[in-house]
Chains A and B, each alone.
Chain A
Amino acid sequence: MVARVIPKSMRQRFPGLTTLVFCLLFCRSSFVYAQESPYIVTYDHYLEEPGSLEVEYFSTFGTQRGGNDFHAFWAEFEYGAKAWWTTEVYLAGQTTFNDSTIFTGSRWENRFRLLQREHIVNPVVYIEFENTSAADKILKEVEGHDVESDYAIPNAVLRKQHDHELEMKLLLSSTFKGWNVAVNPIVTKNLLPSEPWEFAYAIGASRPLALKASPNRCNFCRENFIAGVEMYGGLGDTQSPGLHNTSHYLAPVVAWNLPSDWTFRLSSGFGLNGNSHRLLLHWGISREFSGFGEAVRRLFGGRP
């Protein structure tokens, strides 16, 4: 965004200007303690606080039978546009060992809260447009007939295939006595007319290790840790629905929300059948910048 705000000629003449604008945006934002869920694949119904920007980095390490192991990585920029609307941009890449490191594409995700108040089950609509290559290996979700052998093909071949996909999820989530349970039915459509609709699911349950806060600021208090488990996999497609030739994972997950505004997440996904990678290790780090929207507004001369 900084690059869009400052013309190229200005950036060349004043190399420090980009840094200055970056600082004005982020330094005028304040950090806020985030209570992030530990899920990597599953979504609960909580959206980003309005005006806050969450910057996240995630990695996926995957083992690969019949090919090279890989490390995929992505950055997320998640902005709370309204209390009922969160919008997010992803940029992803991957390194396949003994092969190459490549940029694999971008995604634009939007989540809309449907109901004003809390209910037993809270629905949120998720719509994402993906502009990725077939070499994308972040495995943020597993869809249709995605299986391990799809990922054994060399990057040079995979990167030639570009996918434009629309992904829709219904995020159903409930929180009771500290437990969160989330169920996400997923539908994906490659925008090529010949491609079928693909189906998938993600379910998760999690709970903070302590439900009551301690009066003092602490890093290792049990209340700062949220642990849980998630399960995700494909459900076939319109041409061939069902569980045959699909992959599934079960992943214990944990999030550590530090008072210094950082959140660490770790998820170790174990393949549940022969079509799944044996191990998918996800980890991520994030930081929330509260008041980011306000800082941008002031930068453009908005009323203080």
Chain B
Amino acid sequence: MNAILSFTVAWFRRARSIGFASIGIVMIGTILFETPQTLGQQEKNPSTYAALAEAPEKARRRRNPFEGDTQAVAAGGKLFGQHCAECHGRKAGGARQGPSLQREEVRQAAPGALFWVLSNGVVRRGMPVWSKLPEPERWQIVAFLQSLKPQSLNPQSERPASN
């Protein structure tokens, strides 16, 4: 055990500078060689909206407590701009990192399914978990999403939001 630890210490000492250089290499490599799908590719990919169908029945049946509440739609729009627009575009029409949320798949989804996806994220596809937002705020975002007008069939990628 001591021999292993001695070797580890010696290795860390020798590799200190190499180690810190490798941090940069790993991070830059991750950034540079990752090739996310374009908006068009995302939307043609049938699995893009598949997470909505994965919502369990119990989650899907949940009703939005803010249904028909215009104040909640406005608040949801504000929250969308703060947390979601960077990836999904300012008008939710999609951007490089996230697909359009103006599609029929989203509009026709049960509010509970949208809430479930928002809460659980789609970690394997790069969408973070948003349960750090309190439950009422997540429902406000769902109210906003369901108030969006449908997008044309040939969507144009919009610029990500920036302040």
Tell me whether A211 and B134 are in contact in the complex, defined as CB-CB below 8 angstroms, given that A193-B5, A297-B31 are known contacts.
Answer: yes
How distant is the Cα of A30 from the Cα of B86 in the complex, in angstroms? 8
* Chain B residues, CB < 8 A from A108: 19-20, 23
Q: Which of B19, B30, B82, B160 contacts A259 (CB 8 A)?
A: B82
B163 at the interface (CB under 8 A from A): yes
How distant is the Cα of A4 from the Cα of B20 in the complex, in angstroms? 12
How distant is the Cα of A46 from the Cα of B96 in the complex, in angstroms? 23
- Chain B positions 108-157 with a Cβ under 8 Å from a chain A Cβ: 119-129, 131-137, 140
Q: Is the CB of B120 within 8 A of A212?
A: no
B13 at the interface (CB under 8 A from A): yes
A178 at the interface (CB under 8 A from B): yes
Question: What distance in Å separates the Cβ of A85 from its nearest Cβ neighbour in chain B?
Answer: 9
Tell me whether A215 and B132 are in contact in the complex, defined as CB-CB below 8 angstroms, given that A30-B162, A89-B23 are known contacts.
Answer: no
Q: Which of A1, A178, A290 contacts B24 (CB 8 A)?
A: A1
Q: Is the CB of A291 within 8 A of B129?
A: no
How distant is the Cα of A111 from the Cα of B41 in the complex, in angstroms? 30
Question: What distance in Å separates the Cβ of B75 from its nearest Cβ neighbour in chain A?
Answer: 4
Q: Is the CB of A213 within 8 A of B75?
A: yes
- Cβ-Cβ contact count across A and B, 8 Å cutoff: 140
* Chain B residues, CB < 8 A from A31: 162-163
Q: A159-198 vs B: 1/0 string, CB under 8 Å? A: 0000010000000000101101000000000011100000
- DSSP class of B's interface residues: helix, strand, loop or mixed? helix
- Chain A positions 94-122 with a Cβ under 8 Å from a chain B Cβ: 106, 108, 113, 116-118
* Chain A residues, CB < 8 A from B75: 212-215
Chain B's closest residue to A193 (CB) is B5
- Chain A positions 220-240 with a Cβ under 8 Å from a chain B Cβ: 223
A35 at the interface (CB under 8 A from B): yes
Q: Is the CB of B12 within 8 A of A164?
A: yes
- Chain B positions 61-97 with a Cβ under 8 Å from a chain A Cβ: 71, 74-79, 82-83, 86, 96-97
B27 at the interface (CB under 8 A from A): yes
* Chain B residues, CB < 8 A from A44: 132
Q: Is the CB of B86 within 8 A of A302?
A: no
Tell me whether A87 and B31 are in contact in the complex, defined as CB-CB below 8 angstroms, given that A30-B163, A31-B163 are known contacts.
Answer: no
How distant is the Cα of A32 from the Cα of B163 in the complex, in angstroms? 8
Q: Is the CB of B160 within 8 A of A50?
A: no
Q: Is the CB of B160 within 8 A of A30?
A: yes
Q: Is the CB of B9 within 8 A of A212?
A: no
How distant is the Cα of A261 from the Cα of B86 in the complex, in angstroms? 13
Chain A's closest residue to B13 (CB) is A164
How distant is the Cα of A171 from the Cα of B136 in the complex, in angstroms? 25
Tell me whether A82 and B126 are in contact in the complex, defined as CB-CB below 8 angstroms, given that A164-B13, A192-B9, A300-B32 are known contacts.
Answer: yes
Q: Is the CB of B127 within 8 A of A83?
A: yes
Question: What distance in Å separates the Cβ of B114 from its nearest Cβ neighbour in chain A?
Answer: 15
* Chain A residues, CB < 8 A from B96: 294
Q: Is the CB of B135 within 8 A of A177?
A: yes
Q: Is the CB of A296 within 8 A of B140?
A: no
How distant is the Cα of A208 from the Cα of B132 in the complex, in angstroms? 10
B28 at the interface (CB under 8 A from A): yes
Could you list 9 examples of A-B contacts with CB < 8 Å?
A30-B163, A50-B97, A50-B128, A51-B31, A192-B5, A212-B137, A213-B140, A290-B86, A297-B31
Interface residues of B (CB under 8 A from A): 1-2, 5-6, 8-9, 12-13, 16, 19-20, 23-24, 26-28, 30-32, 34-35, 71, 74-79, 82-83, 86, 96-97, 119-129, 131-137, 140, 160-163
